[in-house]
Structure 1
């Protein structure tokens, strides 16, 4: 009976995640389905709220975004926020979710090989920056980019920009210490949605060796503190690897840790192409769990 109950629970969660896929790819709105699942006690599993999307967006910016200050012929400053992803239907529709809540536009570039979410208007960018004040960036490079943008918006001085544009990352060690301090007091609900956006950008769900080896990995340049925080969140005991160019990577294989990651992604949904690999991963890891039970 226990095995049957676990299997049914796993099947329902799998079907809910499949439903996420159809929401994102076909913009389905099925309030009857949502009400039915909520009554079954799976309300958290359809937690695609506006707040989740905004916090998720910050995590995606941290992973795959860019906060840019450029110039036009050394005469005028230009400001830009951009997220660039592989062009898939899921990624395209995920980026479209940000427009009514945050702003910007979505378009295809590089012979339609990539899709970008982009904001070029200075007034719009000033409004969007307030989101980062409420929900802070957690990677040192993106926070340094944001700080450089804020200084340029304040100074509006092309000469200052030209003299300092190559120095924006000079204080990254100080910024890392600030972020580490922020993490000790961070709102857990914010971090969870942020983390799903960061997983969308930097996470990898892997199934290898004829489905016998399943793992989750995530990494980041320079910011060891962030990978350590993620490692501790999922109670992992794996060693963090140091790769080339100060890239820190953790790979997690233990079933009990993978189940924690799956539970996280069920409660704080992925929204783009990474959701598809997660669905497959969830299916096979959860089946392993029922077999063990």
Structure 2
């Protein structure tokens, strides 16, 4: 009966395939799931293990039969609580279609500056107990991965805001053995492989800094090649390095259609809006390496200002002329880019207010005073 139902559904989908756009009730999300349905039915639901979180033919058939009955035949089909992976796939499809793309690019830029992808060993002994310490002989060393962002505790609300929109990982306060209290956003292996990667692939976005690209491409290689054990990373090290070299973005960053919003997020992580003791205004961006990336930033900021490079590895972009400062204001206040968020927004508004009260900068075009004070 399952095979017959599948066959009939497949035939019906073939008939509707050319006319799906004529259904006024189909949202973008519906169309995405419809197209997925048609694709999977075309292959008779033979999916690769682990794709989209499904493990069996039965789950695929059950989920898409439910969807098509609901959307095409207007039947009310009850779902049980035994198929969390089906709900999970539905949530991912919803996020892919409805995520604010400008915000997503801003978050990616922020992660590029302040996040890191951690790859460590996670061993299991013969009892199945997980261990993070040095494994004993004979234990299995699995790949453990997570994406972590550690910020000042004052940025907890910012991380909660990101978490609210992405619905990935967990946000919490932590106190390290040394140092001040931190706010942390942590995503585990499931978040990375089954949420972050499909979301970025759908929106055609990438991390852009040298370090984050290497970390993320290693992650993709592990997923696509189904590596499980930590030793496999060393075993396939040559192939991994070739994969990273062949897929890494090295130039023309400014041509990416999300680069401006990525730069907003990167500024939130690595930028500084400075007011000097003599009341002069300055904007700075600093990071290690990434020369070509920084050169592309100067194109977006519309400045000929040269980078300051120290010890052949520390990049600093700094502007203070009135013309360059106006370009910065135009970028952050008078563009269609996503606005700054969190403590960096407060810093930016204090910076603007200082210019409002300065004779030197009074001729610059700035946001209305009420907008500045509202965001302070």
- Asked if Structure 1 and Structure 2 have the same fold, meaning a TM-score greater than 0.5 normalized by the shorter chain, the answer is yes
Of structures 1 and 2, the larger Rg is shown by: 2
- 1:211-250 maps to which residues of 2 (within 5 A)? 211=279, 213-244=280-311, 246-250=313-317
The number of residues matched between the two structures is 238
Corresponding residue of 1:34: none
Whether the aligned pair in 2 keeps the contact of 1:87 and 1:113 (CA below 8 Å) is yes
Corresponding residue of 1:42: none
TM-aligned CA distance change 1:84 to 1:202, over 3 Å? same
1:52 aligns with 2:102: yes
Whether the aligned pair in 1 keeps the contact of 2:254 and 2:297 (CA below 8 Å) is no
TM-aligned CA distance change 1:214 to 1:125, over 3 Å? same
TM-aligned CA distance change 1:170 to 1:240, over 3 Å? farther
TM-aligned CA distance change 1:169 to 1:218, over 3 Å? farther
- Describe the superposition over 1:28-86 as per-residue Cα deviations: whole angstroms up to 9, x where unpaired: xxxxxxxxxxxxxxxxxxxxx93332111100111011112221135222120111111
Cα deviation for residue 284 of structure 1 reads 2.1
Corresponding residue of 2:165: 101
Pairing partner for 1:84 from 146, 150, 153: 150
- 1:1-293 maps to which residues of 2 (within 5 A)? 50-73=100-123, 75-88=141-154, 91-102=155-166, 103-110=168-175, 113-122=181-190, 125-133=193-201, 134-153=204-223, 154-163=226-235, 178-181=249-252, 183=253, 185-187=255-257, 190-211=258-279, 213-244=280-311, 246-266=313-333, 267=335, 268-287=338-357, 288-291=360-363
Whether the aligned pair in 2 keeps the contact of 1:69 and 1:78 (CA below 8 Å) is yes
Whether the aligned pair in 2 keeps the contact of 1:219 and 1:227 (CA below 8 Å) is no
User: Larger deviation: 140-149 or 151-160?
Assistant: 151-160
CA distance in 1, matches of 2:101, 2:284: 26
Q: Which runs of 5+ in 1 are unaligned?
A: 1-48
Whether the aligned pair in 2 keeps the contact of 1:148 and 1:168 (CA below 8 Å) is yes
TM-aligned CA distance change 1:185 to 1:250, over 3 Å? closer
TM-aligned CA distance change 1:132 to 1:210, over 3 Å? same
Greater percentage in helix: 1
Whether the aligned pair in 1 keeps the contact of 2:254 and 2:299 (CA below 8 Å) is no
CA distance in 2, matches of 1:203, 1:168: 32
Corresponding residue of 2:82: none
Cα deviation for residue 119 of structure 1 reads 0.8
Cα deviation for residue 225 of structure 1 reads 0.9
Whether the aligned pair in 2 keeps the contact of 1:143 and 1:175 (CA below 8 Å) is no
Whether the aligned pair in 2 keeps the contact of 1:145 and 1:168 (CA below 8 Å) is no
CA distance in 2, matches of 1:109, 1:264: 35
Whether the aligned pair in 1 keeps the contact of 2:111 and 2:149 (CA below 8 Å) is yes
TM-aligned CA distance change 1:117 to 1:292, over 3 Å? closer
